Amino acid sequence: MNFFKWFEDILPMLEKRAVSMKKIIDYLETLPSPIFILETGCLRKVNSFAGDGQSTLIFDNYIQHRGKDSKIFTVDINELNVRACKNTVSENVHVECSDSIKFISNFNKLIKDNKLSLLYLDSFDVNWDYPLESSAHHLKELTAAIPYISEETLVVVDDAPLSMIGYRDEDNNFKLIKQTKIGGKGYLVHEYASAVDAEIYFSHYQVGYKKLIKSN
């Protein structure tokens, strides 16, 4: 399969995630092989590109383009999700049914001396009215993954849109009153990233950071 032809075909179906997913792939293309990806929250419904994003499938197809030594590790606490994922992806994907934080805490057994190319956080479903619980979980995931992150690791949080407060004037032009902080699953991760002067690589429906860890 030609990955880039397939990716071009499915990209419009990703809708709100299309821009950021392309930036993820573009960035991974700048990194040397092998590629190592850790994802929290696996594929749970086949072909749900607009709803779930199908990130596990996209990353699976991508690393097949990058070579056999590249690897994806994905973890989900829901057995039905794990079963659906295992029935969809290739043997290049290590799929684990577990609490994500516990899994990441023991991740050294799988990744050994390697560092992650991409950490993709998308596990604990967010309650948009009360997002703090999900946001705290994703910060815990990031904290557990710190030993496996380098300066080059791209860290992405799904469901983390940047919201704005404003109004439409009489000509229907949007007038910004206040640009609020990154929210959803990414609220507390963003607070951490800001504190360590990480670089925001993109901020759309998803947010991506580089340089969460600074080299000495």
Q: Would you kindly state where each structural domain of the chain is located, as residue ranges?
A: 3-210
> Are residues 19 and 37 in contact, defined by beta-carbon separation less than 8 angstroms?
no
- Highest mean pLDDT (candidates 133-137, 180-184, 210-214): 133-137
- Measured distance CA(181)–CA(190) in Å, rounded: 8
Task: Output the pLDDT for position 166.
Answer: 61
As a whole number, mean pLDDT of residues 193-200 equals 94
Tracing tokens 């930036």 back to the chain, one arrives at 23
Confidence of residue 180 (pLDDT cuts 50, 70, 90): low
Q: What is the pTM of this model?
A: 0.91
As a whole number, mean pLDDT of residues 65-92 equals 93
Confidence of residue 216 (pLDDT cuts 50, 70, 90): low
Task: Output the pLDDT for position 163.
Answer: 66
Q: Could you tell me the two tokens for 51?
A: 């709803």
Choose between 177 and 1: higher pLDDT: 1
Choose between 148 and 52: higher pLDDT: 148
- Measured distance CA(205)–CA(30) in Å, rounded: 23
- Measured distance CA(128)–CA(108) in Å, rounded: 33
Backbone phi, then psi, for 153, in 5-degree steps? -65, 130
Q: Could you tell me the two tokens for 125?
A: 């479903």
For residue 57, pLDDT over 90 is answered with yes
215-112-27-185 Cα dihedral, nearest 10 degrees: -90
Please state, rounded to an integer, the average pLDDT across all residues of the chain: 90
Neighbouring CB atoms inside 10 A of 183's CB total 18
Backbone phi, then psi, for 157, in 5-degree steps? -120, 125
- What percent of the chain has a predicted confidence (pLDDT) above 90? 73
As a whole number, mean pLDDT of residues 67-78 equals 93
Q: What separation in angstroms does the CA of 100 have from each of 74, 92, 103, 138?
A: 9, 19, 5, 9
Confidence of residue 171 (pLDDT cuts 50, 70, 90): confident
Fold of 3-210: Rossmann fold (3.40.50)
Q: What's the pLDDT tens digit per position in 113-159?
A: 899 999 999 999 888 888 899 999 999 999 999 999 999 999 999 99
Tracing tokens 């009153």 back to the chain, one arrives at 177
The DSSP H or E segment spanning 49 is none
Helix (H, G, I), strand (E, B) or coil at 140: helix
For residue 32, pLDDT over 90 is answered with yes
